[in-house]
Chains A and B, each alone.
Chain A
Amino acid sequence: NAGVTQTPKFRILKIGQSMTLQCTQDMNHNYMYWYRQDPGMGLKLIYYSVGAGITDKGEVPNGYNVSRSTTEDFPLRLELAAPSQTSVYFCASSRTRGETQYFGPGTRLLVL
C-alpha cells in the first residue's frame, strides 16, 4: 500500500514551458486535492476533485488545469510556466470530505 505518490520529485522549467505533475493514490479515495506551498507560507488549494470526472477550482487555480479520468490519478497541468509558479506542490486524498487527508511527498518546481 503506497498511499499517495507524486512524480517527479524535482523539476526545473523554463518560462513558457509546460509540464504535468503526476499524482496517484491506491486507497480508493474519492476526494483528491492539489495544494501549493510557497516559502514561509501555508499550503493553498489549487484544484480538487470529488470523484472521477468531477473537478473544481480552489483558491489559486490560475495557470493550472486538472483532469480526473480515474479514481486513482489526478494530474496537474501547467501550460505556460511562469516564475510565480515556483513552489512545492502537494497532492492529497481522502475517502470523504470530512475524513483525514493523506499527502504525497511533494514535487519541487523551479521556473527560471
Chain B
Amino acid sequence: GNSVTQMEGPVTLSEEAFLTINCTYTATGYPSLFWYVQYPGEGLQLLLKATKADDKGSNKGFEATYRKETTSFHLEKGSVQVSDSAVYFCALRTDDNQGGKLIFGQGTELSVKP
C-alpha cells in the first residue's frame, strides 16, 4: 500500500546550519507530495508541495524536489533559524485515495538553538 517514511527525530541544529530531513515514499500511480509544518500549539500548515516528477517546491527558504527515480522528497534549507523549530511532516496524496486523503510520515521534530 501507499506509505511515507521520514527520518527519525528529534533533530537539533545550531542557528544558520544546513537542514536536510529525508522523506521516501511508496505509492501506486503518480502521487502529489507535500511538506507540512506544525509549530508548537498550532495545527498543520502546508509548507510546500510538488505534483509531478522533477518539480521543486519552495517556500520560506525551504525546498524539496520530487525524485521519482529514488521515490524521495527530501526537505532542505540552507540556513535555519530559531523560528524554524517545529515538527515537519512529509505526506502524499494519490488519485485513488479516499476523498483526497493525505498519507503522512511520522513527523520529524526540529529544534534550532541560538
Nearest B-chain residue to A55, judged by Cβ:
B99
Cβ of B35 within 8 Å of any chain A Cβ, yes or no, is no
Cβ of A45 within 8 Å of any chain B Cβ, yes or no, is yes
Distance in angstroms between the alpha carbons of A57 and B101 in the assembled complex? 11
Determine whether the beta carbon of B43 is less than 8 Å from that of A101. Answer: no
Determine whether the beta carbon of B101 is less than 8 Å from that of A100. Answer: no
Cβ–Cβ < 8 Å partners of B103 in chain A: 42
Number of interface residues of B (CB under 8 A): 23
Cβ–Cβ < 8 Å partners of A96 in chain B: 100
Distance in angstroms between the alpha carbons of A49 and B98 in the assembled complex? 10
Cβ of B46 within 8 Å of any chain A Cβ, yes or no, is yes
Q: Pick out which of these stretches binds chain B: A14-22, A62-70, A73-81, A103-111.
A: A103-111
Nearest CB of B to A8, in Å = 14
Question: Which residues of B are at the interface with A, using a C-beta cutoff of 8 A?
Answer: 4, 32, 36, 41-46, 49, 89, 91, 93, 98-107
